[in-house]
Chains A and B, each alone.
Chain A
Amino acid sequence: MAKRYGFYIDQENCIGCFTCQIACKDKNDLPDGVLWRKVYEFSGGTTIEENGVFKSNVFAYWLSMACNHCENAKCVTGCPTGAMHYANDGTVQHDPDLCIGCQYCRMNCPYDAPKFMEDKNIISKCDACIDLREAGKNPACVDACLMRVLEFGPIDELRAKYGSNANVKGLPSSDITKPSLVINPHKAAIK
């Protein structure tokens, strides 16, 4: 089996600063409404005032998501044209020339990674900065991260280093697509 690459997210220490999202946006020159990497806020619990004092069990955490370059990428198997495909390094890549804009990949990806570009009428998505990696660099989001909670690398190595968890509250089960993703969950996000 070919080597697979993926992201590690230390969600426990992510402050939701959006720097990865903006670095991606700038590097890939994405139009408004299109985010290849997107930071989500999750919060819950209650904060109430009772008998004049505050009681709270609130929690909040962040999740930075891009394409997880899944082992069982449903966007790839579902794509009728072959536009969505595996590259030699196991990352999932998208060929704009083959894309007919059917958006079936958007119905297949549980991580909302493929985005429809209204100006081009086709899909686009995170390519894990294939250009930078070919030049021996990290993806833009990784080198942008202020808290150093994003890494990219061979997923086997990331799993050896950080374990194999890819499930947190708010994400679908990793059984669906086997994402090349490792997450150190925030304490409130542990599934």
Chain B
Amino acid sequence: MEHVSLTLFSICLQAAIGIMVFVTIGRLINKDGVFKNAMFVAAGLGIIGLFSSMLHLGRPFKAFYALNQFASSWLSREIWFSGLFVGLTVLAVLVLIIKPQNKAIINGVSLVASAVGLAAIAVMSSVFTNSSVPFWQGGATFVEFYAAAISMGAIIFLFLSIGEAVKLKKLVAFSVVAAIIVQVVAVMPNLISLANSSNEAIIGSLAILNGLATVGILKWLFILIGAMLVVWVAKDEISPAMTNTVMVSALLLFVGQLVGRYMFYAAMVVGSGLS
């Protein structure tokens, strides 16, 4: 349950951040684009994510105590940044509802939300790279988190705004593919090098991952097929078939990143493996 709630939190929030990044870009490139669905979904995912994060707490009703230690705690910072991002996204959506014509404010708030969101991903990664779980330490965690945000955000954005995002199709495809390539290139060699580690905690983590090997295969299969589908749709004109392909691609990437993230948390073995 702990892993599930952390997985939902980070995946939903990262997807939301990714969507808002592309909404911001989209509104700048397509001056007529509103991207209402994408903004609503981003806000919704953000709220779901924040809510999920509370589920893993022993005392969810005291969750606001987690804001106490911004100065020292990456976890506290994560809550601040995540909360700020979701707050700004909700604000952008509210402005969109109340004063849709006030594009500058919407664009501005979206831009700030995206920037805070991108920073939030760095903070979220730091929560884990600064922990005493050797498997989480190192750059691969940053890559996993950003790649997940960009790939999911881009494809979900495209799916939700297929009419308005025509011009952005190639950018979306490029972003997804680039993110997945970086994810593969950074994460796979890291896993292979960890396999030679003599650190007992790493060995323990890898043993857990080994037990979840089927899930691991699914993760990469889903992510890679999802990315290939995007490349395929990028060269086609808009059609109902293409909409379906984008939907399938979005689903594959989302589920792939989701199960991958679950494995990331499940592999937690602290320090020397004492337990």
Contacts and interface: CB of A to CB of B under 8 A. Distances in A.
The reply, when asked whether chain A contacts chain B directly with Cβ atoms under 8 A, is: yes
Interface of A: 38, 40, 65, 74, 76-83, 98-104, 106-112, 116, 120-123, 170-172, 176-177
Interface in B50-65: 56-60, 62-63, 65
A100 B58 contact: yes
29 contacts: A65-B274, A74-B131, A78-B75, A78-B131, A79-B73, A79-B75, A80-B66, A80-B67, A80-B68, A80-B76, A81-B66, A100-B58, A100-B59, A100-B63, A100-B66, A101-B59, A104-B75, A109-B132, A109-B271, A110-B272, A110-B274, A112-B274, A121-B58, A122-B59, A123-B58, A171-B272, A172-B272, A176-B132, A177-B132
A40 B268 CA distance: 20
A108 B68 contact: no
Given A74-B132, A110-B271, A80 B69 contact: yes
Given A74-B131, A123-B58, A177-B132, 16 more contacts: A74-B132, A78-B130, A79-B73, A80-B68, A80-B75, A81-B66, A81-B76, A100-B58, A100-B59, A101-B59, A107-B132, A108-B132, A110-B271, A170-B272, A171-B274, A176-B132
B72 A108 contact: no
Contacts of A74: 130-132
B73 A122 contact: no
Interface residues of B, number: 33
Given A80-B73, A82-B69, A121 B268 contact: no
Contact of B65 (A65, A78, A100, A104): A100
Contacts of B268: 107
Residue among A99, A107, A120 with max Cβ neighbours from chain B (10 Å)? A107
